Structure 1
Amino acid sequence: MAVALYEPTQEASSFLNEVQSALQDFAQHFRDGCQLLSPRELAETTTAVEELSKTVEQLQISAAHALDQQKVATTGESDHRFSWADPASLEPDGVEPGKRTEFRDTADYLRERLKISRSEARRRLRLGESTQPATLITGEQAPPKLPMLGAALAGSHISGRAATLIRDAVERVRPTARAEDLQAMEQMLTRQAAEADTDILVEVIKCWEAGLDPDGREPSDEFLRARQGVFIRGRRNGLHRIEIAATDEQYEYLVTVMNTSTNPRLGRTFAPEDGNEDAGQAAAMDSDGVVQPAPAEPTRAQKLLAGLVDACRMALAADKLPATGGHRPQVMVTIDYEELKKQVGGTGQAVFGGLTSAGTVRRIACDADLIPVVLGGRGEVLDVGRAQRLFTPAMRRALVARDGGCAFPGCTIPAPWTEAHHIIWWEHGGTTSTDNGCLLCSFHHHLIHQGHWQVESRGGIPWFIPPPWTDPERKPLRNRYRQACVSQPAGSPPGAGP
Structure 2
Amino acid sequence: MSSNDVVGVSEQVHGHLSALAAAIDGLTECDLTGLPGGELTSVMQQVEISLRRAGTVGHRLIVETTERSPPTELGHTSLNKFLIAVLRISAADASARVTAAKSLGTWHALSGQPLPADLPETAAAQRDGDIGADHARAIREVMRKTPHAVSSSDVAAAEQILAELARSATPEDVEKAGHNLLAHLNPDGNLTDERDRKRLRGIRLGRQDKNLMTPISGHLDPEARALLDPILAKWARPGMNNPDDPESPTGAAEHPGVDRDQLAAAAGRDTRTAAQRNHDAVKEALRTLLGSGILGSHRGLPVTTIITMTLDQLEHATGVATTASGGTLPIRDALKMAQRSHPVLVLFDHNGRPLHLGRSKRLATADQRLALIAADGGCTRPGCDAPATMTAVHHIHDWSKGGATDIGVLTLGCDGCHALIHDGPGGWHTRTAPEGTEYAGRTEWIPPPHIDPDRKPRINHRHHPKELLARARRKARARR
Shorter-normalised TM range: 0.3 to 0.5
| Higher RCO (CA < 8 A, seq sep 6+) | 1
Structure (1/2) with the larger helix percentage: 2
TM-score normalised by structure 2 residue count: 0.42
TM-score normalised by structure 1 residue count: 0.41
